[in-house]
Structure 1
Amino acid sequence: MPTRTSPGPPHPQGAHRPAPLGTKEKIGLILGAIAFAFPLLVDIPNLEPLGERMLAIFLLAIIFWITEPIPLTATAVLVIMLEVLFVAKGGVFAPALPDPASADAGALADQLLPASAYFAALANPVIILFLGGFMIAHGAEKYGLDRNLASVMLKPFSDSARATTAGLMLITAILSMFMSNTATTATMFAVVVPILKALPKGKARAGVALSIPLAANVGGIGTPVGTPPNAIAIGALAERGITISFVDWMIMAVPFMLIILLFSWLFLSLVFLPKDARIHVEMTSNWDRTTNARIFYIIAGITILAWMTEPLHGISSNTVGFFPVVALLCLKVMGGADIKALDWPVLWLVSGGIALGTGVGATGLDAWLVGSVPWESLGGVWIVALLGLIGFGMANVISHSAAANLLVPLAVSLAVSLDGVDTLTVSVVVAIACSLGMSMPISTPPNAIAYSTGEIKISQMALLGMVVGTAATAVLIFALPSLWSAIGLA
């Protein structure tokens, strides 16, 4: 029998009242409604009724993810719900199936997926992979593993501001490969803020402060669990029957990540860090030696080792990702409160992108989009270039995850429909390009955290973000596909 609990203190009046919509959000709501209604009310040439319904959902997602009249996660689950209602078999507003004897009956039946196909995005294997990564990241924070690793790894670096910044960037990037970019940035700023005060006000402080979000954004590129765009790309590829292992992703991304880190450090040193600037970092490691902490260290180590050795044992990275979830809960190292603390909005946001890709592919909208633009005349390299540049541009002004949710499914659909365009290459290029947009505080949470310190001017962040992002995107588009092809990964 449930026990009655005494009521808590009364909430302040209006405490849960939603914030009023700004002008941008109001415009977004109006444009979203118009864009959604247009394909439903106006016949779109050469697009079947099911495709028109999916186009309505796709346009709504684009506008809502850019203008954010509702939270990004809300748009993601709205996409899934609309797909169930408008383009799933038996959906309330789905087209009626024609006479079974008609020529069109078979094709439409194939396009009308069951509602379960769209709901399945919420438990897609890639979501399970990310869930495992989130469990490890949360455990690392809970048991102090992140700060202790940073302490140990910083010791070899001298008091030179340039050398110490290189160490901070390397540590941030490594942590960001397995933790969320936001959590990594917050952890590293807990280390960095005290030492910023030892530097004179001005460029040196800004340079050190800028190095952390930049390294977190770039480091997240390195593994499938490093940042949501990676998971969105892997999920979109899996929907098309293309699998990419944890190790293969790292082989494709880590060398690029290290090159961009080196270039970023050189640019920071040249523009922001005087040669004679000094930073003295005093960090002591204080390892948690409780039984639960030791068990966590072992499970996290086993998980990461299993991810790195996937080609040897053949267990998929998704299955490996579920291991820490089960082990940590069963052994009571983590509990219900830890599950609640995970970044569920990000998982649902990724699910929305996966569901959007499923709908675009199933309803024939991808074929219509391909036929509406003379993509064939561009050639494979320029298709990759155009999509990569669009991803980089969008990710500077909207969430990286939202940009990837919009572009990756479209890019995969285009690649599948065109000859001479490698689907895996296009997907990975677009996902990574969406992680390179980092020129504004609104571009990504790590940038917002860094800007909140008050040590950085927007002009400084924009300069670094545009120089590094543009150079990295050019290398990504014009050099990496050939390299991946040469080593047999694409």
Structure 2
Amino acid sequence: MTTRQLTGLILGPSLFSLIYFFQGMTGLDDAPRAVLAVTAWVATWWITEAMPIPATSLMPIFLLPLTGGAQEETATMAYADPIVFMYMGGFTIALAIEKWNLHKRIAMSIIAMVGSDSSRIILGVLLATALLSMWISNAATALMMLPIALALITNVKEKNYLDEESLRKFAKGLLLTVAYAASIGGLATLIGSVPNAVFAGVASQILGETVTFTDWIIFGLPLTIILLVVLYFYMTKVQFKITQKASISDDFAKNQLKELGPMSFEEKAVLTIFTFTGLMWISSGFLPENLRLSDTTISIIGATSMFLLPAKQEKGGLMQWDDMKRLPWGLLLLFGGGLSLAAAFEESDLTSWFGELLGALEVLPFLLILIALAAAVLFMTEIMSNTAVSNMLIPISIGLALGIGVDPYAIMAVVALTSSCAFMLPISTPPNAAVFSSDYITIDDMVKAGFWMNIVSIFVIVLFVYFWQPLVLSF
């Protein structure tokens, strides 16, 4: 075990014991004190990875009932929350897209359409990455786009389209664009980023409110567009500005599409199901109440259709059950663990305690509170999993909102959005780690580029939530 894991292994149960057995530390009644103690233990092991994160996520199932923090039904039912199944359906559709190479065709088609100089190549990759990341996890998107970006760089290098200095800037800008666009694109939809789904799950568990796919896309898509515009101009006009003009990608993208050949039956079928599912997610909120399908129902219809429609290139459907081995089951357990703790917060009334504790912040201007919260969450996410951060802080943020008397959605949204926007370190997000694995990016490059993206993101997100959230996503 690493020092970090060993420290966490000891610290987790130690914090639990201090909180649970010494009532005077918190002054809480038995049930809320038990929930707080269990949360401290689980969160510590999530952060330090003392045990595999999915395994740690199962601990609330036995710790909450044993300590009296929550009923067994409360602890276990959260693992079957509709949000968990919505994500399962989305992951299944994403696996089908990847299996039949539809993601590569989409990316190359966008690059071929956008243009041929270095800035336009970066724009094409940015758009392709962000579009895929709206529907596929940011980690999977980055891993899908990384080979395409590296192939583009190799193509430019071999044909001497750019001089050495320009090539260096192009490579760094292109790869960091993949990483950052994968994170930003996920902000637009409920299934695009884990913290978004945690937001919806906690809103349901604690506040009893349903945040639909339509609600979130109306809220999150404009922010995604703003941050993508900022990212493009920052990468091409500021951080990695290339003065040399060269036409470099027309042939590359067209050749890649030629290698893929005409769209196969399977690609067309997957695209049809994917498009239908997306349209249903977006439009269901506008249908009459008696005709509406929930986002989870739509997601599972799309996923099961992949198994039902037959493939021509292999026996059986577009998806086989063996393909589901690649589904991130551990992430679904992590969702369940976070939602289980959130349900226990509500059942034990621990949220109110946090509200009273944080009520002293009421004297500060609301905008200043949002900025401080955004900065704290974002820089926490630089060294911690955004899923762990959102699972820990979104339930607590409801207490903060109650304490200062503001809309809980505002505080929750700041936590959810900023926890997806850590750009400085390779360990911050899977997309950062993916592009750092190439030989073109150094830690210095990522810190320098990411620091200013972090700062810009904090202010853009805070202002966006402050002005836009009350109009479209009020509690």
Could you tell me the TM-score, scaled by structure 1's length? 0.86
Relative to structure 1, the CA distance from residue 475 to residue 335 in structure 2 (aligned partners, 3 Å threshold; closer, same or farther) is same
Task: Give CA deviations for 1:20-67 in whole Å, capped at 9, x if unaligned.
Answer: x01111111111121011112212343001122111111112322222
For 2:105 and 2:266, the matched residues in 1 are separated by 16
Report how far residue 289 of structure 1 moved. Answer: 5.1
Does structure 1 residue 195 correspond to structure 2 residue 152?
A: yes
For 2:425 and 2:106, the matched residues in 1 are separated by 29
Q: Which residue of 1 aligns with 2:191?
A: 225
Secondary structure at 1:309's aligned position in 2? helix
Report how far residue 378 of structure 1 moved. Answer: 3.4
Q: Which residue of 2 aligns with 1:106?
A: none
What pairs with 1:117-136 in structure 2 (closer than 5 Å)?
117-136=74-93
Q: Which residue of 1 aligns with 2:244?
A: 276
For 2:48 and 2:22, the matched residues in 1 are separated by 24
Report how far residue 387 of structure 1 moved. Answer: 2.9
Q: Which residue of 1 aligns with 2:118?
A: 161
Report how far residue 447 of structure 1 moved. Answer: 0.6
Whichever residue aligns with residue 268 of structure 1, its letter is M
Alignment match of 2:203 (pick from 234, 237, 240): 237
For 2:400 and 2:346, the matched residues in 1 are separated by 10
Q: Which residue of 2 aligns with 1:208?
A: 174
Relative to structure 1, the CA distance from residue 184 to residue 272 in structure 2 (aligned partners, 3 Å threshold; closer, same or farther) is same
Alignment match of 1:41 (pick from 5, 21, 25): 21
Q: Which residue of 1 aligns with 2:318?
A: 333
Report how far residue 81 of structure 1 moved. Answer: 2.9
For 1:130 and 1:315, the matched residues in 2 are separated by 16
For 2:353 and 2:262, the matched residues in 1 are separated by 57
Q: Which residue of 1 aligns with 2:34?
A: 53
Alignment match of 1:403 (pick from 389, 407, 415): 389
Secondary structure at 1:156's aligned position in 2? helix
Report how far residue 164 of structure 1 moved. Answer: 0.8
Please say if residues 396 and 443 of structure 1, whose CA atoms lie closer than 8 Å, have aligned partners that are also in contact.
Answer: yes
Q: Which residue of 2 aligns with 1:299?
A: 273
For 2:473 and 2:265, the matched residues in 1 are separated by 45
Task: Give CA deviations for 1:350-371 in whole Å, capped at 9, x if unaligned.
Answer: 2211111111222122222222
Q: Which residue of 1 aligns with 2:380?
A: 394
Whichever residue aligns with residue 477 of structure 1, its letter is V
Report how far residue 290 of structure 1 moved. Answer: 5.0
Whichever residue aligns with residue 211 of structure 1, its letter is T
Report how far residue 158 of structure 1 moved. Answer: 2.4
Task: Give CA deviations for 1:363-414 in whole Å, capped at 9, x if unaligned.
Answer: 1222222223323333544443333222211111111111111111111233
Please say if residues 161 and 273 of structure 1, whose CA atoms lie closer than 8 Å, have aligned partners that are also in contact.
Answer: no
Report how far residue 280 of structure 1 moved. Answer: 2.5
Please say if residues 132 and 141 of structure 2, whose CA atoms lie closer than 8 Å, have aligned partners that are also in contact.
Answer: yes
Report how far residue 221 of structure 1 moved. Answer: 0.6
The answer for unaligned runs of 5 or more in structure 2 is 158-163, 310-316
Relative to structure 1, the CA distance from residue 393 to residue 154 in structure 2 (aligned partners, 3 Å threshold; closer, same or farther) is same
Please say if residues 378 and 419 of structure 2, whose CA atoms lie closer than 8 Å, have aligned partners that are also in contact.
Answer: yes
Whichever residue aligns with residue 298 of structure 1, its letter is T
Does structure 1 residue 466 correspond to structure 2 residue 433?
A: no
Please say if residues 223 and 464 of structure 2, whose CA atoms lie closer than 8 Å, have aligned partners that are also in contact.
Answer: no
Does structure 1 residue 66 correspond to structure 2 residue 50?
A: no
The answer for unaligned runs of 5 or more in structure 1 is 1-20, 89-111
Report how far residue 194 of structure 1 moved. Answer: 1.6
CA-atom RMSD in angstroms = 2.0
Report how far residue 319 of structure 1 moved. Answer: 1.5
For 1:210 and 1:61, the matched residues in 2 are separated by 33
For 2:196 and 2:471, the matched residues in 1 are separated by 22
What pairs with 1:75-224 in structure 2 (closer than 5 Å)?
75-87=56-68, 112=70, 114-197=71-154, 198-199=156-157, 200=164, 202-224=168-190
Whichever residue aligns with residue 228 of structure 1, its letter is V
Q: Which residue of 2 aligns with 1:343?
A: 328
Q: Which residue of 2 aligns with 1:485?
A: 470
Does structure 1 residue 308 correspond to structure 2 residue 277?
A: no
Q: Which residue of 1 aligns with 2:461?
A: 476
Does structure 1 residue 25 correspond to structure 2 residue 5?
A: yes
For 2:28 and 2:416, the matched residues in 1 are separated by 28
Q: Which one is further off, 121-130 or 200-209?
A: 200-209
Please say if residues 228 and 401 of structure 1, whose CA atoms lie closer than 8 Å, have aligned partners that are also in contact.
Answer: yes
For 1:261 and 1:426, the matched residues in 2 are separated by 23
Please say if residues 198 and 390 of structure 2, whose CA atoms lie closer than 8 Å, have aligned partners that are also in contact.
Answer: yes
Q: Which residue of 2 aligns with 1:105?
A: none
Relative to structure 1, the CA distance from residue 85 to residue 488 in structure 2 (aligned partners, 3 Å threshold; closer, same or farther) is closer
Q: Which residue of 2 aligns with 1:265?
A: 232
Whichever residue aligns with residue 384 of structure 1, its letter is L
Q: Which residue of 1 aligns with 2:215?
A: 248
For 1:241 and 1:136, the matched residues in 2 are separated by 28
Report how far residue 488 of structure 1 moved. Answer: 6.4
**Identity level (%):** 27
Q: Which one is further off, 72-81 or 132-141?
A: 72-81
